[in-house]
Amino acid sequence: MKTKYNYVVIEGNIGAGKTTLATKISEQFNARLILEHFADNPFLPKFYNDPEKYSFPLELSFLASRYKQLKDELEPQDLFKTFTVADYYFMKSLVFAASTLKGDEYNLYRQIFYIIYGSLPKPDLFVYLHLSPEKLLQNIEKRARNYEKSITIEYLQKIQESYFTFFRQNPDTKYLIIDINGIDFVADENHYRKIIDVIFFDDYPIGLNTLIL
């Protein structure tokens, strides 16, 4: 099926279900799928154990790996796929850095980020899956990743606030914020179809657009 988008990003806080949704969309629409390579980052478990010591190297390593992956995977044309769907966008680097870095480290990081940011293509639609920190923590506990055991509701709240700060400061993208607190698109196919309908069959202006499902 042909869609009006060439590049769609599915984003959200930790545990929101972005990878699951992006994967389901790619399978349904024969879309090229880009998934973030995060599990093999050597700084991630160290960061969760000692955030103050490892936050800067962690954020720099993610900045480099995300840029390389998106540059490598977005530029080549794939004639056999209808469009591209990704489970993250490069701005995620700044969102998380704003929650983990302070002072001069964050200012330096922000300068580096914006130098690189302009060289990457922007999505036609940026979808943000919104869940309360309490529900996010439940999802995180269900998947039982060892390095995520120390994640707190307060940390998830900070990440959420960083996303919305970025949206407000960079309004030149088409953002669709979908509140999914009342649905379960993984377990209920009708809920999944609702999300597909609002993403692909409705029109939205540039800037922030919010829906509650």
Strand (E) or helix (H) holding 28: helix 18-29
DSSP code, position 152: -
Helix residue spans in 51-207 (DSSP H): 51-74, 92-100, 103-117, 133-143, 153-169, 189-200
Rounded CA separation 99/54 (Å): 13
Closest C-alpha to 107, from 66, 56, 141: 56
Determine contact, residues 47/54, Cβ cutoff 8 Å: yes
Determine contact, residues 42/147, Cβ cutoff 8 Å: no
Determine contact, residues 166/95, Cβ cutoff 8 Å: yes
Residue 87 falls in the annotated catalytic set: yes
Classified as helix, coil or strand, 182 is coil
Q: Which residue has the tokens 């599990």?
A: 39
**Residues in a beta bridge with 125:** 8
Closest C-alpha to 128, from 68, 193, 58, 207: 207
Say which of 40, 72, 78, 87 is annotated catalytic.
Answer: 87
Q: Which residues are catalytic?
A: 87
